Structure 1
Amino acid sequence: MRLHKVYHRFSLFHFPKPPLLLSYSPPFFSLTPSVRPPLQFISRSSSTSPAALRAEAMRFRNVVPVNAFENDGASNGAARSSSSTTDCEVLALYLRRELESFWLLCLDPSVGSILRKSWSCHSVVSGLSELMRFINTMPWICRRHTLVVSIFILGKWILPSAAEIRDIVDAPPLPTLSFSPNRDKILFLKRRSLPPLAELARPEEKLAGVRIDGKCNSRSRMSYYTGIGIYQLMDDGTLGPEKELSGLPSGAKINFVTWSNDGSHLAFSVRTDEEDGSSGMLKVWVADIEAGKARPLFEAAEIFLNAVFDNFVWVNNSTLLVCTIPLSRGGPPKKPLVPSGPKIQSNEQKDIIQTRTYQDLLKDEYDEDLFDYYGTSQLLLVTLDGSVKPIGTPAMYTSLDPSPDEKYIMISSMHRPYSFTVPCGRFPRKVDLWTADGKFLRELCDLPLAEDIPITHNSVRRGKRSIH
């Protein structure tokens, strides 16, 4: 086995000696028949020429003659240049090599024509269709590999040509069900089958074990609902007619759907796509179940939801406690070009502690500032009639827990010092007790940083836990 064959196992293409560089510049397709395809092979050595490439192809003559790729005729009546034919020969040859490694013993010479037509014909779609029809005639083990190579060569995503296949893949799944507190109504939360690639490609901040979408100020790659249907549960166990929730903006992405205690209202978050195609920030909406109409909770358009940790809870049937982005927050901190000092980690107590390996931890002071920036919230008590009352000062609120009698609220928050060795679940945590109208009562506990929890089974942190 020669060296380049071994190298082939780790790369999409394997090249003859001297090694070749593959360079291209989009677009991959030329709409003018006589224009040279932009995909070219550039040699590192000046001795490499089309003649040398043809010589390398000699060992394939017993299976597919190289000249089978020549003289394919002009596309749309225009004769192609010899340089374009040479490039297509070489590309078809390398495609044939890839297929040969997957036990395809004979390659139809028309693949050269298909590739050339895909590059230079007026209709790119027709060239793709021919290539797909050719691939469908291959054995399955070769078909998959050929499709990968073809996508690389053609330089774009390929969608199924049949609408039936797309409909099967994009068919909406069964909705998520949510029962009202009185068990007399059911919500059908509708969703899509697969997220768009733009959602998966969105940038994210990896801080203290949490992945944050900085644009939405929420967890990254959140799934969402596309609509809400309300059904009445009849006495005989059947469902009444659907009442579609109205008033939502077009293309609304819905999250955190929550019933009020009496089941008369819904609260949820809504985000929509902006002009550049990215998702916007989250806003809190409420809906009247009987009327089937939704509206924004806040009259001010500049109040947005902070959903990195907790988001909102119903305090009573007409009041919500919401984690919002502080209005005075400003822009995110900028990473300094030069660190403020060396990174120092000391073990002054000389404790020997076994720790697990965690991902996405804080690395420096800049990460700490960024974690504070995205996680800090301002609590607001909001009634359905629009009155707003701030609660406390901005902090890293992680849990909002109203009492069953609707008189008190237990609020948890985290604070510094942070750690570079454990995620945020072990950061210092403070638990306070507040009244339902926003008066501070007392501090229940302030747990220290928990870096020393053993990795043995049933190990816990020091201090109070499971506070209810």
Structure 2
Amino acid sequence: MTLRGVRLSAPLLFGLLLATPVLGQPAGQGTQALTYQQPPAPIADILDSRPTPTPSVAPDRKTLALFERSNLPSIAEMAEPQLRLAGFRINPRNNGPANSRLSWLTGIELKTIDGGTTRRVSLPTGSRFTSPSWSPDSRSIALLVDQPTGMALWVVDVATGSAREVFGPRVNAATGGGFGWLPDSSGIVVQAVPEGRGPAPDVTVPPAGPILAETGGRAAPVRTYQDLLGNPGDEALFAHYFTAQTTIVPLNGPARVVGTPGVILGSSVSPDGRFMLRTVAKRPFSYVVPASLFPADVVVTDLNGSVVHTVADLPLRDNIPPPFDAVAPGPRAAQWRADAPATLVWVEAQDGGDPRTAAEIRDRVLMLDAPFTGAPVTLIDLKERFAGITWGREDVALVNTRWFNTRHETRSVVDPLNPGTGRVIVDRNYQDRYNDPGSPVLMPNAAGRPVIQFTADGSKMFVDGDGATREGEYPFLGTLDLSTGQTQRLWQSASGDYETVLGVLDDEGRRLLTRRESRIDPPNLQIRTVGGDVTPLTTFPDPAPQLAGVTKELITYTRDDGVQLSGTLYLPAGYDRTRDGPLPLLMWAYPAEFTDAAVAGQIVDTANRFTRPGGSSHLFLLTQGYAVLDDPSMPIVGQDGQEPNDTYIAQLSASAKAAVDAVVAMGVADRDRIAVGGHSYGAFMTANLLAHTDLFRTGIARSGAYNRTLTPFGFQAEQRTYWQAPETYNAMSPFAFADRVNEPILLIHGEADDNSGTFPVQSERFYAALKGHGATVRYVVLPLEAHGYRARESVGHTLWEMTRWLDQNLKAPASTTAAGGH
């Protein structure tokens, strides 16, 4: 059978040929297939170095698990068949996420936080696993082990380090983890492949007829989505692979099925272990939106599978208005209250879900206690859109709201015992880093649910944050008084360090589990007694000592309109600007939209952070003699109700000019040897800067979008549709100005890009437009890669392409390149 989205189609093969000009010939004068190339030393060695283990702390904070990670997967692993169905990518062999979506783990080491033994978990040689999950009682870790015919559920005994299989390779992890612990840690709820499911349907048979779509006059504006169902064969495959049978698997005893199979998109057990909240998709499936917007039943069942309450009968949600604050009408965000036995909580829009409708109340948060026969109670009415709730105890919860148009947020303390009102304790612009009071410190309760951690007397909650200032980020631990809303800092990272709190180990906030790094020290975990001793827990080495001599500094400068800008300047090891003079420089950026120029101009030094590149990072170019200006500010500011993007080109160009002027004035860069680059929206930025300025010698644009008419119902932070703002859409589309790009540009795109808005056709058509106007352009298509590149061969080749391109266009004399004025 041929799996949709797996085969190399004729158009793709053609694209690959276009992507690979013969070495030594100008682009467009000859093409041939090109094998994967290795980046120059020492980049390849760094890519192949052993990854640092990922730490995870047990709920009781007595044990630390270190999960060893596999390195970059091979292209052969990426080539394993995958299906792209309803917004998901799955591996039909094991009914789990596709290899392009997974980072496999390969081993586990357990360490006692208060000293004692270190134990290595005994897993079969060559095992790889995913989704490790602590039991609420901290005695076990569950994980999914990949086997030839499926995903098997294994459980690790933390005390002994032994591991055993508790459920065979029938876990259905198509939508994610595929399992969850019972609150009492006695067993695990598994979404299983139904017994006797049989082979997948044959979708190679001739179609029975055409595929139809009609509206009946109903408005349904839909943003661009990837990997949607496209035909009856896709529907059949979706139903086959996503249908699961809920099964309870005790740690000791036989498994038992719960209810009937269904396309289960979400499932969670109530904190008291008596009920299950489930979201089950139902037909008709849609070809225009992902599974999360399919018709669905949101129901509460008992642990025998009998429905005891219907939360919502959701219709197809393909008509949500384009603005970012828009939501579907009806119940949404259904969840269990984390600090109560069995209380349902959900949200309902009071403005029909449309932020363009005038309304005093936007959202209402509702609660309903078991046995779910009474009327729901209003916990709080919200003047902005619901953005989450953090549970604490019976009389304290924290409700967040946000409103995108103003970038405004509130955080309100509510009392579930006396519902109906709340007290706002945070009222701010959520992009304002300098005045972020921090977020609640969370800890698991007895049922394993995260809840707010309070001080010993219960009058305050612990909070932590980044502590961003002009001088740098210095994370802190503090308290917030529930009566007054006042905050007090108990501890803050020392100057020169970046140390974050992973857990508060006592009721006074004196004993902390932290993760510390500095400019020269790699991140490691430790136990810190505030004002006392520090006990190291890990000694992870520098993963890329070849970069230890690289220097970085925050540089600041001002745009012509007075907006403050900044960027991090990286210089190669051993460089001396007085002795060595200006270097070829790559500016790598990503624009951001703001409603407040002061917030847009906030500057935060990162000199205390440990920096080592990974994946296809542009920072690897430091090893090849290039300077890098990383993340130079590219703010697009809309003030006094104006939309930021209406002046996008002017603001973008002004920011880029200010950055170029700054590095040239410092003497580290030659104005004639500066390149610009970016990924995704940064690629879009790159193409626009080449089209509208003469600031750069060349550009590198990876996985971008270049024609905004192909994303007509909004993109990035643009809420208006094409028909509401055609001038803005056209002015922002570098495709429309392909005739003005007269600097060489390197386009790279993953063949299987899964990001909304950056379909590969964006690069394909932009390449054709540039080629048609005689531009110097190289177009590289990476087979099997999504929006981010994962295969070792793909990552290495990308870095080879980038290095080679800059060597040709920045290190060569200007007269040999195609740079020129407009």
TM-score by length of 1: 0.62
Match of residue 280 from structure 2: 413
Match of residue 430 from structure 1: 297
Give the aligned CA root-mean-square deviation in angstroms. 2.7
* Aligned match for 2:151, one of 275, 278, 282: 282
Aligned equivalents of 1:166, 1:305: Cα separation in 2: 37
CA apart distance, 1:443: 2.3
**What code does the residue aligned with 2:187 have?**
T
Aligned equivalents of 2:303, 2:62: Cα separation in 1: 28
Aligned equivalents of 2:120, 2:305: Cα separation in 1: 36
The reply to whether residue 392 of structure 1 matches residue 259 of structure 2 is yes
SS at match of 1:330: coil
The within-5 A match list for 1:62-461 is 98=25, 152=34, 168-221=46-99, 222-234=102-114, 239-246=115-122, 248-272=123-147, 274=148, 280-298=149-167, 301=168, 303-310=169-176, 311-315=178-182, 316-348=184-216, 350-436=217-303, 438-461=305-328
Say if 1:381 and 1:438, in contact at 8 Å, map to a contact too: no
Say if 2:299 and 2:311, in contact at 8 Å, map to a contact too: yes
CA apart distance, 1:466: 1.5
Aligned equivalents of 1:182, 1:442: Cα separation in 2: 34
**What code does the residue aligned with 1:352 have?**
A
* Aligned match for 1:12, one of 21, 25, 33: 21
Say if 1:171 and 1:192, in contact at 8 Å, map to a contact too: no
SS at match of 2:334: coil
The worse-fitting range, judged by mean Cα deviation, of 166-175 and 449-458 is 166-175
SS at match of 2:285: coil
Aligned equivalents of 2:282, 2:193: Cα separation in 1: 17
Q: 1:226 to 1:9 in 2, by over 3 A?
A: closer
Q: 1:168 to 1:417 in 2, by over 3 A?
A: same
Say if 2:58 and 2:64, in contact at 8 Å, map to a contact too: yes
Say if 1:377 and 1:396, in contact at 8 Å, map to a contact too: yes
**What code does the residue aligned with 2:88 have?**
V
Match of residue 66 from structure 1: none
Say if 1:447 and 1:462, in contact at 8 Å, map to a contact too: no
CA apart distance, 1:321: 0.7
Q: Which runs of 5+ in 1 are unaligned?
A: 1-7, 14-94, 103-147, 275-279
Aligned equivalents of 1:456, 1:199: Cα separation in 2: 39
Match of residue 11 from structure 2: none
Q: 1:11 to 1:194 in 2, by over 3 A?
A: closer
Aligned equivalents of 1:440, 1:360: Cα separation in 2: 32
Say if 2:260 and 2:305, in contact at 8 Å, map to a contact too: no
Say if 2:221 and 2:318, in contact at 8 Å, map to a contact too: no
CA apart distance, 1:399: 1.3
Q: Which runs of 5+ in 2 are unaligned?
A: 1-16, 336-822
**What code does the residue aligned with 1:268 have?**
L
Q: Whose helix fraction is larger, Structure 1's or Structure 2's?
A: 1
Q: 1:447 to 1:202 in 2, by over 3 A?
A: same
**What code does the residue aligned with 1:263 have?**
S
Aligned equivalents of 2:78, 2:71: Cα separation in 1: 14
Instruction: Report percent identity of matched pairs.
Output: 32
Aligned equivalents of 1:404, 1:216: Cα separation in 2: 31
**What code does the residue aligned with 2:311 have?**
L
CA apart distance, 1:386: 3.0
SS at match of 1:380: strand
SS at match of 2:333: coil
SS at match of 2:129: strand
**What code does the residue aligned with 1:217 have?**
N
Q: 1:335 to 1:258 in 2, by over 3 A?
A: same
**What code does the residue aligned with 1:198 have?**
A
The CA deviation string for residues 365-396 of structure 1, in whole angstroms up to 9 with x for no partner, is: 11101101110111111101131111111111
**What code does the residue aligned with 1:308 have?**
A
Aligned equivalents of 2:129, 2:20: Cα separation in 1: 42
Say if 1:224 and 1:254, in contact at 8 Å, map to a contact too: yes
**What code does the residue aligned with 2:67 have?**
L
**What code does the residue aligned with 1:372 have?**
A
Aligned equivalents of 1:354, 1:177: Cα separation in 2: 43
Q: 1:269 to 1:11 in 2, by over 3 A?
A: closer
The worse-fitting range, judged by mean Cα deviation, of 320-329 and 429-438 is 429-438
Q: Whose strand fraction is larger, Structure 1's or Structure 2's?
A: 2
TM-score by length of 2: 0.36
- Greater relative contact order structure (CA < 8 Å, 6+ sep): 2
CA apart distance, 1:289: 0.7
